[in-house]
């Protein structure tokens, strides 16, 4: 079937439609990861966004339940250069086309994704529509312009768990004989759009994890007497999440806190800083980040459109621990007197490199020291 991608500035791309027949609406962003398309599909941080994958061949190894980062895809739509209608991999349980159709996700393929990415880099992320049912491109452009902007929208409340639950460590299908690490620490994880691999990483560090909804009060969390508190990734603008910022202020200093991605931005706001929207965001598994203390460089996995403003942080109280080598944006914070630190990128890296796994060990060490 034929499909159209229309951007709010009037740029039109025509291609072949896959996945679900219909229309989808969202902010159009691009991701430069070479692998892990299923993990990208199911990352709740992509709620409200249409994702362009720069790797040209997508879908060729299919999908399987073990690679899900959530129980369903959260992307609004998908844009690719080539989308395989078949899969060739021993782990595949369902071809990507059928998988996305099952969850009503439209796909447009056979377009020049290089031209689209150059357009977004030049003009910034913008709203767009994918349609396989409407042929009037002018009408689709008007629809794109009518989409609600992500700025000022609380999407964490949309994707968060509705009830508290205990994470049950999973058996690794690639290492089925690997035994779970005994849990001797208790972590409460705020779900602003949490990914499963974060929970796996915490479990591997000997943590029993209780996941709570985004609007859970500090009082309720402290009543669980955790050894540490984790603030997860999530979609959208951090500024509307005033409830989360207030909660972090109440919890700071009472328990060790580790935040990533949206959790990092919320910590920055809770500490009196400000955030701003990046021109086209950071989305991919190849972003270089430097540790300010020793100069060591990590290649990191990232997925965010907002960043903490370095100039707004009181550096007498807060240390800037990591910086992005592409654009010098803040990638990490650590409070100088309180047990609290955060990073903008994804140390669980699913998909992505494993350079930053040490941060989960640092969190465990902080909890152990706080208990003493």
User: Catalytic residues, which ones?
Assistant: 261, 346, 348
Distance of alpha carbon 233 from alpha carbon 55, whole angstroms: 24
User: Which segments of the chain are extended strands (E)?
Assistant: 2-7, 12-19, 23-31, 49-53, 57-58, 77-79, 82-83, 106-109, 126-131, 165-166, 185-191, 207-213, 228-231, 257-260, 275-291, 297-308, 318-324, 330-335, 340-343
Tell me which residue has tokens 């140390």: 347
Please tell me what DSSP assigns to residue 279.
E
Distance of alpha carbon 190 from alpha carbon 157, whole angstroms: 11
DSSP string, 163-219: S-EEPPPPPPTTSTTPPPPPP-EEEEEEESS--HHHHHHHHHTTEEEEEEETT--HH
Distance of alpha carbon 119 from alpha carbon 117, whole angstroms: 5
């Amino acid at each position: 079937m034929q499909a159209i991608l229309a951007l709010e500035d009037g740029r039109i791309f025509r291609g072949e439609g896959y996945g679900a027949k219909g229309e989808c609406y969202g902010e159009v962003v691009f991701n430069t990861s070479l692998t892990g398309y299923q993990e990208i599909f199911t990352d709740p941080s992509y709620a409200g966004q249409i994702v362009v994958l720069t790797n040209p061949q997508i879908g060729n190894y299919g999908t399987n339940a073990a690679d899900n980062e959530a129980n369903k895809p959260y992307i609004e739509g998908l844009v690719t250069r080539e989308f395989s209608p078949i899969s060739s991999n021993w782990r595949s349980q369902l071809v990507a086309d059928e998988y996305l159709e099952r969850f009503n996700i439209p796909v447009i393929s056979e377009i020049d994704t290089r031209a689209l990415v150059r357009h977004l880099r030049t003009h910034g992320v913008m709203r767009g529509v994918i349609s396989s049912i409407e042929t009037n491109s002018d009408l689709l452009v008007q629809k794109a312009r009518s989409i609600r902007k992500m700025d000022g929208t609380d999407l964490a409340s949309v994707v968060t768990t509705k009830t508290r639950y205990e994470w049950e460590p999973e058996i690794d299908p690639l290492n089925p004989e690997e035994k779970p690490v005994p849990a001797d620490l208790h972590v409460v994880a705020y779900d602003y759009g949490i990914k499963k691999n974060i929970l796996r990483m915490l479990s591997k560090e000997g943590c029993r994890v209780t996941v709570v909804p985004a609007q859970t009060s500090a009082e309720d969390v402290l009543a669980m007497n955790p050894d540490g508190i984790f603030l997860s990734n999530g979609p959208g603008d951090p500024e509307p999440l005033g409830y989360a910022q207030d909660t972090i202020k109440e919890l700071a200093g009472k328990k060790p806190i580790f935040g990533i991605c949206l959790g990092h931005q919320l910590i920055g706001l809770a500490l009196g800083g400000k955030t701003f929207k990046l021109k086209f965001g950071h989305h991919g598994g190849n972003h270089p980040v430097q540790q300010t203390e020793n100069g060591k460089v990590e290649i990191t996995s990232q997925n965010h459109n907002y960043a903490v403003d370095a100039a707004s942080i009181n550096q007498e109280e807060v240390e800037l621990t990591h910086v992005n080598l592409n654009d010098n944006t803040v990638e990490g914070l650590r409070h100088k007197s309180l047990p609290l630190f955060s990073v903008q990128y994804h140390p669980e890296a699913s998909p992505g490199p494993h350079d930053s796994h040490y941060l989960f060990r640092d969190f465990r060490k902080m909890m152990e020291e706080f208990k003493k």
